[in-house]
Amino acid sequence: MALDDYVWAAGVATDLVNTAPEVWHGADKLPDLATVAAFAEQHSIPVSTRPGDLRAVHRLRATVRDLIDHPAQARLITGATSLTSSVGDVSLDATSGRSRWTVSLRQGATVVDALSLICGVGILGVVQSLDVARFRACGAPACQGVFIDTTRPGRRRYCMPGLCGNRVNVANHRARKASELHHA
Ligand SMILES: [Zn+2]
């Protein structure tokens, strides 16, 4: 993966933490290895799985959530660095004209190693290129989701914009309708 592609990596980290049961009223969106593999595939992360990976992915998810919940710079750097232990080689990818820093996974790495490395690179990239203020809680009332805001203006409000943003719009619309009726 490209080391400078922190936007993509932070997006994977955000998507991963928002599969947790606390965000879905108790329903885990990654309940088994098959859903973990599907999640990886959805994000173009082609890696194998091992039986122990499910628990390891759940642990990783909790670790990343904890980092986003407490975004102090030193803590983010230390925490994210410990997620990069599965790095194999740091190199340059010069195939597309301009060369980019890349990192590969060490031999025998599985899905949890890949996700761990991606989350680590995503968090470190956002701390370096943007700001710790980009680690935030979802703005939708009653939503327990969190996200890493990699938009240019940094004004993202929801963990899942298509879902939480729409919910808020619908609620506002209903409230407006209700008050119109009330005043009619
Ligand atoms: Zn949300």
Phi, psi of 104 (to 5 degrees): -115, 165
- As a whole number, mean pLDDT of residues 150-164 equals 94
Half-sphere exposure of 173 (CA within 13 A, CB side): 6
Distance 163 CA to ligand 1 centre (A): 7
Residues of the chain with pLDDT > 70, as a percent, come to 98
Amino acid at 27: A
> What pLDDT is attached to residue 24?
95
In whole angstroms, give the CA distance from residue 39 to residue 53. 13
Which tokens sit at 52? 């122990």
- As a whole number, mean pLDDT of residues 152-164 equals 93
Strands 100-105 and 135-137: unpaired
Distance 166 CA to ligand 1 centre (A): 10
Distance 21 CA to ligand 1 centre (A): 13
pLDDT tens for residues 32-61? 999 999 999 999 997 889 999 999 999 999
Distance 33 CA to ligand 1 centre (A): 25
> What pLDDT is attached to residue 182?
67
Distance 138 CA to ligand 1 centre (A): 5
Distance 9 CA to ligand 1 centre (A): 19
> What pLDDT is attached to residue 173?
81
> What pLDDT is attached to residue 165?
84
Distance 78 CA to ligand 1 centre (A): 27
> What pLDDT is attached to residue 170?
81
In the block, which residue shows the tokens 């595939």?
41
Other CB atoms within 10 Å distance of the CB of residue 20: 20
Q: Is the pLDDT of residue 183 over 80?
A: no
Distance 46 CA to ligand 1 centre (A): 28
> What pLDDT is attached to residue 94?
92
pLDDT tens for residues 58-77? 999 999 999 999 999 999 99
> What pLDDT is attached to residue 184?
58
pLDDT tens for residues 76-112? 999 999 999 989 999 999 998 889 999 999 988 999 9
Distance 155 CA to ligand 1 centre (A): 14
Distance 156 CA to ligand 1 centre (A): 11
The torsion angle over the Cα atoms of residues 48, 51, 56 and 57, rounded to 10 degrees, is 50
Domains detected in the chain: 6-183 (1.10.3300.10)
Phi, psi of 138 (to 5 degrees): -60, 140
Rg, C-alpha atoms of the chain: 18
Distance 77 CA to ligand 1 centre (A): 25
Q: Is the pLDDT of residue 130 over 90?
A: yes
Q: Is the pLDDT of residue 174 over 90?
A: no
